[in-house]
Amino acid sequence: MIYLDHAATSNPKPATVVDAMMHFISDGCANPGRASHPLANAGARLIFDTRQKLLQFFHAEPTAHAVFTANITESLNLALKGLLQSGDEVIVSSMEHNAMMRPLRQLEQNGVVVTVIECDPQTGIIDVDAINAAISATTRLVAINHGSNTFGTVQPIAEIGALCRQQNCLFLIDSAQTAGCTPINMSSSNVDLLAFTGHKGLLGPMGIGGLVLNARAQDANITPLICGGTGSNSELEIQPQTLPDALESGTPNLPGIAGLNAALDWLEHTGVDTINQHEQCLTAQLIAGLKQIPGVSVLGPAADQPRVGVVSLLIDGKDNGEIDEQLAYDHQIYCRTGLHCAPASHQTMGTFPNGTVRLSVGAFTRADEVQCAIEAIAKIASN
Protein backbone atom coordinates (compact mmCIF):
# COMPACT_ATOMS: atom_id res chain seq x y z
CA MET A 1 0.00 0.00 0.00
CA ILE A 2 1.13 3.51 -0.86
CA TYR A 3 -0.92 5.98 1.19
CA LEU A 4 -1.27 9.39 -0.45
CA ASP A 5 -4.39 10.63 1.33
CA HIS A 6 -2.83 12.57 4.20
CA ALA A 7 -5.07 15.58 3.54
CA ALA A 8 -7.94 13.38 4.77
CA THR A 9 -6.03 11.91 7.72
CA SER A 10 -2.44 10.98 8.45
CA ASN A 11 -1.38 7.33 8.26
CA PRO A 12 0.51 5.86 10.03
CA LYS A 13 0.67 7.53 13.43
CA PRO A 14 3.81 7.55 15.55
CA ALA A 15 3.98 4.43 17.73
CA THR A 16 4.03 6.58 20.86
CA VAL A 17 0.56 7.91 19.96
CA VAL A 18 -0.87 4.40 19.96
CA ASP A 19 0.88 3.52 23.23
CA ALA A 20 -0.38 6.65 24.99
CA MET A 21 -3.96 6.01 23.90
CA MET A 22 -3.82 2.37 24.95
CA HIS A 23 -2.70 3.35 28.44
CA PHE A 24 -5.63 5.70 28.99
CA ILE A 25 -8.08 3.14 27.61
CA SER A 26 -6.80 0.10 29.51
CA ASP A 27 -5.12 1.38 32.69
CA GLY A 28 -5.82 5.09 33.08
CA CYS A 29 -9.54 5.20 32.38
CA ALA A 30 -11.14 7.82 34.63
CA ASN A 31 -13.14 11.03 34.29
CA PRO A 32 -10.89 14.05 34.96
CA GLY A 33 -12.45 16.84 36.98
CA ARG A 34 -15.24 14.54 38.16
CA ALA A 35 -13.31 12.98 41.04
CA SER A 36 -10.17 13.52 43.13
CA HIS A 37 -8.76 9.98 43.15
CA PRO A 38 -5.35 9.32 41.56
CA LEU A 39 -6.68 8.12 38.19
CA ALA A 40 -8.88 11.18 37.71
CA ASN A 41 -6.07 13.47 38.82
CA ALA A 42 -3.68 11.86 36.33
CA GLY A 43 -6.19 12.53 33.56
CA ALA A 44 -6.58 16.14 34.66
CA ARG A 45 -2.80 16.62 34.63
CA LEU A 46 -2.63 15.14 31.12
CA ILE A 47 -5.26 17.59 29.88
CA PHE A 48 -3.49 20.56 31.46
CA ASP A 49 -0.15 19.44 30.01
CA THR A 50 -1.64 19.04 26.52
CA ARG A 51 -3.19 22.49 26.63
CA GLN A 52 0.18 23.99 27.50
CA LYS A 53 1.92 22.09 24.73
CA LEU A 54 -0.63 23.34 22.20
CA LEU A 55 -0.13 26.95 23.26
CA GLN A 56 3.62 26.57 22.91
CA PHE A 57 3.33 24.68 19.62
CA PHE A 58 1.28 27.45 18.01
CA HIS A 59 3.25 30.25 19.73
CA ALA A 60 0.11 31.67 21.28
CA GLU A 61 0.12 34.64 23.64
CA PRO A 62 0.99 34.05 27.33
CA THR A 63 -2.67 34.53 28.33
CA ALA A 64 -4.10 32.30 25.57
CA HIS A 65 -6.42 29.34 26.18
CA ALA A 66 -6.80 26.06 24.30
CA VAL A 67 -10.30 24.58 24.24
CA PHE A 68 -10.83 20.95 23.18
CA THR A 69 -13.49 19.89 20.67
CA ALA A 70 -14.24 16.71 18.74
CA ASN A 71 -12.78 18.03 15.47
CA ILE A 72 -12.02 21.20 13.54
CA THR A 73 -15.58 21.39 12.18
CA GLU A 74 -16.85 21.76 15.73
CA SER A 75 -14.09 24.27 16.43
CA LEU A 76 -15.11 26.44 13.49
CA ASN A 77 -18.79 26.21 14.44
CA LEU A 78 -17.88 27.25 17.98
CA ALA A 79 -15.94 30.28 16.76
CA LEU A 80 -18.38 31.40 14.06
CA LYS A 81 -21.63 30.84 15.92
CA GLY A 82 -20.17 32.05 19.18
CA LEU A 83 -18.98 35.35 17.71
CA LEU A 84 -21.31 36.38 14.91
CA GLN A 85 -24.74 37.94 15.37
CA SER A 86 -27.29 39.43 13.00
CA GLY A 87 -25.83 42.51 11.31
CA ASP A 88 -22.21 41.39 11.73
CA GLU A 89 -20.09 40.92 8.61
CA VAL A 90 -17.57 38.10 8.14
CA ILE A 91 -15.04 38.08 5.29
CA VAL A 92 -13.83 34.77 3.86
CA SER A 93 -11.89 33.60 0.82
CA SER A 94 -13.31 31.73 -2.16
CA MET A 95 -11.10 28.76 -1.23
CA GLU A 96 -12.93 27.74 1.95
CA HIS A 97 -13.89 24.23 3.02
CA ASN A 98 -17.51 23.38 3.79
CA ALA A 99 -16.54 23.21 7.47
CA MET A 100 -16.36 26.99 7.19
CA MET A 101 -18.98 27.70 4.54
CA ARG A 102 -21.88 25.60 5.76
CA PRO A 103 -22.10 27.19 9.23
CA LEU A 104 -21.65 30.60 7.59
CA ARG A 105 -24.48 29.97 5.14
CA GLN A 106 -26.62 28.94 8.09
CA LEU A 107 -25.70 32.14 9.94
CA GLU A 108 -26.40 34.12 6.78
CA GLN A 109 -30.04 33.05 7.01
CA ASN A 110 -30.12 34.69 10.44
CA GLY A 111 -28.80 38.05 9.30
CA VAL A 112 -25.02 37.62 9.28
CA VAL A 113 -23.42 39.19 6.20
CA VAL A 114 -20.99 36.82 4.44
CA THR A 115 -18.55 38.52 2.05
CA VAL A 116 -16.49 36.21 -0.18
CA ILE A 117 -13.23 37.50 -1.66
CA GLU A 118 -12.41 35.83 -4.97
CA CYS A 119 -8.94 34.29 -5.11
CA ASP A 120 -6.57 33.96 -8.04
CA PRO A 121 -7.98 31.28 -10.41
CA GLN A 122 -4.52 29.85 -11.12
CA THR A 123 -3.00 29.72 -7.63
CA GLY A 124 -5.93 30.18 -5.26
CA ILE A 125 -4.08 32.93 -3.36
CA ILE A 126 -6.14 35.77 -1.94
CA ASP A 127 -5.42 39.46 -2.55
CA VAL A 128 -4.87 41.14 0.83
CA ASP A 129 -5.71 44.52 -0.71
CA ALA A 130 -9.11 43.10 -1.70
CA ILE A 131 -9.74 42.14 1.92
CA ASN A 132 -8.78 45.64 3.01
CA ALA A 133 -11.18 47.16 0.48
CA ALA A 134 -14.01 44.90 1.68
CA ILE A 135 -13.67 45.64 5.39
CA SER A 136 -16.49 47.86 6.61
CA ALA A 137 -17.76 49.28 9.89
CA THR A 138 -19.74 46.07 10.48
CA THR A 139 -16.87 43.65 9.78
CA ARG A 140 -16.39 41.62 12.94
CA LEU A 141 -14.32 38.73 11.66
CA VAL A 142 -12.00 37.67 8.84
CA ALA A 143 -11.96 33.86 8.58
CA ILE A 144 -9.42 32.22 6.27
CA ASN A 145 -8.47 28.67 5.30
CA HIS A 146 -4.71 28.73 5.89
CA GLY A 147 -3.96 25.79 3.57
CA SER A 148 -6.23 24.46 0.83
CA ASN A 149 -7.18 20.79 1.05
CA THR A 150 -7.80 20.74 -2.70
CA PHE A 151 -4.91 22.60 -4.34
CA GLY A 152 -2.31 23.08 -1.60
CA THR A 153 -2.54 26.88 -1.63
CA VAL A 154 -1.16 28.57 1.50
CA GLN A 155 -2.61 31.99 2.29
CA PRO A 156 -0.48 34.91 3.62
CA ILE A 157 -1.80 34.88 7.18
CA ALA A 158 0.86 37.25 8.55
CA GLU A 159 -0.23 39.98 6.12
CA ILE A 160 -3.91 39.31 6.74
CA GLY A 161 -3.38 39.29 10.51
CA ALA A 162 -1.57 42.63 10.40
CA LEU A 163 -4.46 44.08 8.39
CA CYS A 164 -7.06 42.74 10.83
CA ARG A 165 -5.20 44.23 13.78
CA GLN A 166 -4.96 47.57 11.97
CA GLN A 167 -8.69 47.51 11.09
CA ASN A 168 -9.72 46.23 14.55
CA CYS A 169 -11.49 43.06 13.44
CA LEU A 170 -10.87 39.53 14.69
CA PHE A 171 -8.86 37.00 12.66
CA LEU A 172 -9.68 33.26 12.58
CA ILE A 173 -7.67 30.65 10.67
CA ASP A 174 -8.61 27.11 9.68
CA SER A 175 -5.36 25.18 10.15
CA ALA A 176 -6.65 21.73 9.12
CA GLN A 177 -3.98 21.34 6.41
CA THR A 178 -1.15 23.34 7.97
CA ALA A 179 -0.96 22.49 11.68
CA GLY A 180 2.00 20.13 12.08
CA CYS A 181 3.13 20.62 8.46
CA THR A 182 3.86 24.35 8.40
CA PRO A 183 5.23 26.47 11.26
CA ILE A 184 2.48 28.69 12.71
CA ASN A 185 3.13 31.62 15.03
CA MET A 186 -0.16 33.01 16.28
CA SER A 187 1.47 35.93 18.06
CA SER A 188 3.62 37.26 15.22
CA SER A 189 0.84 36.64 12.66
CA ASN A 190 -1.78 38.39 14.84
CA VAL A 191 -4.08 35.36 14.76
CA ASP A 192 -6.87 35.74 17.32
CA LEU A 193 -8.45 32.31 16.90
CA LEU A 194 -6.89 29.13 15.51
CA ALA A 195 -9.05 26.08 14.81
CA PHE A 196 -7.16 22.78 14.59
CA THR A 197 -7.76 19.07 14.20
CA GLY A 198 -5.58 16.43 15.78
CA HIS A 199 -5.68 13.68 13.17
CA LYS A 200 -4.01 15.25 10.13
CA GLY A 201 -0.62 16.98 10.23
CA LEU A 202 -0.58 16.88 14.02
CA LEU A 203 -0.40 13.06 13.67
CA GLY A 204 -2.84 12.39 16.51
CA PRO A 205 -6.04 10.32 16.49
CA MET A 206 -9.44 11.14 15.05
CA GLY A 207 -12.03 12.59 17.42
CA ILE A 208 -9.92 15.35 18.96
CA GLY A 209 -9.56 18.97 17.85
CA GLY A 210 -9.69 22.38 19.40
CA LEU A 211 -9.76 26.14 19.31
CA VAL A 212 -6.91 28.34 20.55
CA LEU A 213 -7.98 31.80 21.70
CA ASN A 214 -5.64 34.73 22.13
CA ALA A 215 -6.54 37.72 24.32
CA ARG A 216 -8.70 39.63 21.83
CA ALA A 217 -10.81 36.54 21.14
CA GLN A 218 -11.31 36.02 24.87
CA ASP A 219 -12.47 39.62 25.24
CA ALA A 220 -15.14 38.94 22.59
CA ASN A 221 -16.99 36.64 25.04
CA ILE A 222 -17.75 33.76 22.69
CA THR A 223 -21.12 32.11 23.31
CA PRO A 224 -20.77 28.36 24.03
CA LEU A 225 -21.89 25.98 21.31
CA ILE A 226 -23.18 23.57 23.99
CA CYS A 227 -23.65 23.85 27.74
CA GLY A 228 -23.52 21.23 30.46
CA GLY A 229 -21.32 19.57 33.02
CA THR A 230 -17.77 20.84 33.29
CA GLY A 231 -16.64 19.35 36.58
CA SER A 232 -16.44 22.88 37.96
CA ASN A 233 -18.93 25.21 39.69
CA SER A 234 -21.28 22.28 40.13
CA GLU A 235 -23.42 24.29 42.54
CA LEU A 236 -24.61 26.45 39.63
CA GLU A 237 -27.13 25.64 36.92
CA ILE A 238 -25.69 28.28 34.62
CA GLN A 239 -22.60 27.81 32.47
CA PRO A 240 -19.27 28.85 34.08
CA GLN A 241 -17.78 32.05 32.63
CA THR A 242 -14.10 31.17 32.99
CA LEU A 243 -12.10 29.56 30.21
CA PRO A 244 -11.69 26.85 29.14
CA ASP A 245 -14.72 25.52 31.07
CA ALA A 246 -17.07 28.12 29.53
CA LEU A 247 -16.64 26.55 26.08
CA GLU A 248 -15.99 22.94 27.05
CA SER A 249 -18.87 20.85 28.40
CA GLY A 250 -19.16 17.10 28.83
CA THR A 251 -16.70 14.29 29.43
CA PRO A 252 -13.44 14.94 27.56
CA ASN A 253 -11.95 12.49 25.06
CA LEU A 254 -9.10 11.43 27.35
CA PRO A 255 -7.61 8.74 25.04
CA GLY A 256 -7.73 11.24 22.16
CA ILE A 257 -6.04 13.93 24.22
CA ALA A 258 -3.40 11.40 25.32
CA GLY A 259 -2.71 10.53 21.69
CA LEU A 260 -2.49 14.21 20.74
CA ASN A 261 -0.14 14.85 23.67
CA ALA A 262 2.22 12.11 22.46
CA ALA A 263 1.98 13.38 18.88
CA LEU A 264 2.97 16.89 19.97
CA ASP A 265 6.03 15.41 21.70
CA TRP A 266 6.94 13.55 18.51
CA LEU A 267 6.53 16.70 16.42
CA GLU A 268 8.59 18.74 18.86
CA HIS A 269 11.38 16.16 18.74
CA THR A 270 11.29 15.83 14.94
CA GLY A 271 10.75 19.53 14.20
CA VAL A 272 7.96 21.05 12.12
CA ASP A 273 10.56 22.76 9.93
CA THR A 274 12.06 19.34 9.15
CA ILE A 275 8.65 17.91 8.28
CA ASN A 276 7.85 20.94 6.15
CA GLN A 277 11.09 20.59 4.18
CA HIS A 278 10.45 16.87 3.70
CA GLU A 279 6.92 17.43 2.39
CA GLN A 280 8.02 20.32 0.17
CA CYS A 281 10.65 18.11 -1.47
CA LEU A 282 8.15 15.33 -2.08
CA THR A 283 5.61 17.79 -3.47
CA ALA A 284 8.19 19.28 -5.85
CA GLN A 285 9.11 15.75 -6.97
CA LEU A 286 5.46 14.87 -7.53
CA ILE A 287 4.65 18.04 -9.49
CA ALA A 288 7.77 17.76 -11.65
CA GLY A 289 7.04 14.12 -12.48
CA LEU A 290 3.38 14.65 -13.25
CA LYS A 291 4.09 17.59 -15.55
CA GLN A 292 6.21 15.31 -17.74
CA ILE A 293 3.26 13.01 -18.46
CA PRO A 294 1.32 13.79 -21.67
CA GLY A 295 -2.35 14.47 -20.99
CA VAL A 296 -1.90 15.24 -17.28
CA SER A 297 -2.75 18.71 -15.92
CA VAL A 298 -1.49 19.80 -12.50
CA LEU A 299 -3.50 22.54 -10.84
CA GLY A 300 -2.68 25.05 -8.12
CA PRO A 301 0.47 26.90 -7.09
CA ALA A 302 3.86 26.06 -8.56
CA ALA A 303 6.22 23.94 -6.49
CA ASP A 304 8.26 27.00 -5.51
CA GLN A 305 5.22 28.97 -4.28
CA PRO A 306 3.88 28.73 -0.71
CA ARG A 307 1.96 25.46 -0.51
CA VAL A 308 1.31 22.32 1.49
CA GLY A 309 1.77 18.75 0.30
CA VAL A 310 -1.51 18.54 -1.62
CA VAL A 311 -1.49 18.11 -5.41
CA SER A 312 -4.61 18.05 -7.62
CA LEU A 313 -4.53 16.72 -11.17
CA LEU A 314 -6.68 15.84 -14.16
CA ILE A 315 -6.03 13.34 -16.97
CA ASP A 316 -7.43 14.16 -20.40
CA GLY A 317 -10.30 11.90 -21.36
CA LYS A 318 -10.30 10.04 -18.04
CA ASP A 319 -13.02 9.95 -15.40
CA ASN A 320 -11.73 10.86 -11.93
CA GLY A 321 -13.57 7.97 -10.29
CA GLU A 322 -12.05 5.47 -12.72
CA ILE A 323 -8.59 6.90 -12.07
CA ASP A 324 -9.15 6.50 -8.34
CA GLU A 325 -10.26 2.89 -8.77
CA GLN A 326 -7.31 2.01 -10.98
CA LEU A 327 -4.83 3.60 -8.59
CA ALA A 328 -6.30 1.77 -5.60
CA TYR A 329 -6.94 -1.68 -7.03
CA ASP A 330 -4.35 -1.99 -9.77
CA HIS A 331 -1.49 -0.12 -8.12
CA GLN A 332 -2.38 -0.08 -4.39
CA ILE A 333 -2.08 3.70 -4.30
CA TYR A 334 -4.68 5.33 -2.07
CA CYS A 335 -5.78 8.90 -2.80
CA ARG A 336 -9.04 10.85 -3.09
CA THR A 337 -11.11 12.18 -5.97
CA GLY A 338 -14.08 14.52 -6.27
CA LEU A 339 -14.80 17.89 -4.68
CA HIS A 340 -13.09 17.14 -1.35
CA CYS A 341 -15.86 18.90 0.64
CA ALA A 342 -14.68 22.21 -0.80
CA PRO A 343 -16.87 23.15 -3.78
CA ALA A 344 -15.96 26.83 -3.43
CA SER A 345 -12.31 26.12 -4.15
CA HIS A 346 -13.20 24.09 -7.26
CA GLN A 347 -15.44 26.88 -8.50
CA THR A 348 -12.51 29.26 -8.01
CA MET A 349 -10.08 27.05 -9.91
CA GLY A 350 -12.47 25.97 -12.67
CA THR A 351 -12.79 22.29 -11.72
CA PHE A 352 -16.40 22.32 -10.51
CA PRO A 353 -18.48 20.11 -10.57
CA ASN A 354 -16.28 17.11 -11.41
CA GLY A 355 -13.44 17.95 -9.05
CA THR A 356 -9.95 16.49 -9.29
CA VAL A 357 -7.71 13.58 -8.38
CA ARG A 358 -5.90 14.57 -5.19
CA LEU A 359 -2.59 13.16 -3.98
CA SER A 360 -1.34 14.32 -0.59
CA VAL A 361 1.93 13.47 1.14
CA GLY A 362 2.76 13.28 4.84
CA ALA A 363 5.55 13.05 7.36
CA PHE A 364 6.15 9.34 6.67
CA THR A 365 5.80 9.42 2.87
CA ARG A 366 8.93 8.31 0.99
CA ALA A 367 10.39 9.52 -2.29
CA ASP A 368 10.17 6.03 -3.82
CA GLU A 369 6.44 5.98 -3.06
CA VAL A 370 6.00 9.28 -4.88
CA GLN A 371 7.90 7.87 -7.86
CA CYS A 372 5.62 4.82 -7.92
CA ALA A 373 2.60 7.13 -8.01
CA ILE A 374 4.07 9.10 -10.92
CA GLU A 375 4.71 5.89 -12.88
CA ALA A 376 1.23 4.57 -12.14
CA ILE A 377 -0.42 7.77 -13.35
CA ALA A 378 1.74 7.72 -16.47
CA LYS A 379 0.51 4.21 -17.19
CA ILE A 380 -3.13 5.17 -16.66
CA ALA A 381 -2.76 8.27 -18.83
CA SER A 382 -1.19 6.28 -21.69
CA ASN A 383 -3.94 3.64 -21.83
Phi-psi region of 340 (alpha: psi -120 to 50; beta: other; left: phi over 0): left
CATH number of 15-270: 3.40.640.10
Each residue's pLDDT, cut to its tens digit, for the chain (383 residues) gives 999 999 999 999 999 999 999 999 998 888 998 888 999 999 999 999 999 999 999 999 999 999 999 999 999 999 999 999 999 999 999 999 999 999 999 999 999 999 999 999 999 999 999 999 999 999 999 999 999 999 999 999 999 999 999 999 999 999 999 999 999 999 999 999 999 999 999 999 999 999 999 999 999 999 999 999 998 989 999 999 999 999 999 999 999 999 999 999 999 999 999 999 999 999 999 999 999 999 999 999 998 899 999 999 999 999 999 999 999 999 999 999 999 999 999 999 999 999 999 999 999 999 999 999 999 999 999 98
- Of 74, 14, 57, the residue nearest 259 (C-alpha): 14
Q: Confirm whether 2-9+271-382 and 15-270 share one CATH topology.
A: no
pLDDT at residue number 73: 98
pLDDT at residue number 35: 87
pLDDT at residue number 33: 86
In whole angstroms, what is the distance from residue 66 CA to residue 203 CA?
18
Domain parsing of the chain, residue ranges: 2-9+271-382, 15-270
- Of 2, 13, 100, 10, the residue nearest 308 (C-alpha): 10
pLDDT at residue number 29: 87
Protein fold of 2-9+271-382: Aspartate Aminotransferase, domain 1 (3.90.1150)
Edge to edge, what strands does the sheet with 89-93 contain? Answer: 65-69, 209-213, 193-197, 170-174, 139-145, 89-93, 113-117
Identify the burial level of 236 via C-beta atoms within 10 angstroms of its C-beta, where 0-12 means exposed, 13-18 middle and 19 or more buried: exposed
Identify the burial level of 295 via C-beta atoms within 10 angstroms of its C-beta, where 0-12 means exposed, 13-18 middle and 19 or more buried: middle
CB 259 within 8 A of CB 20: yes
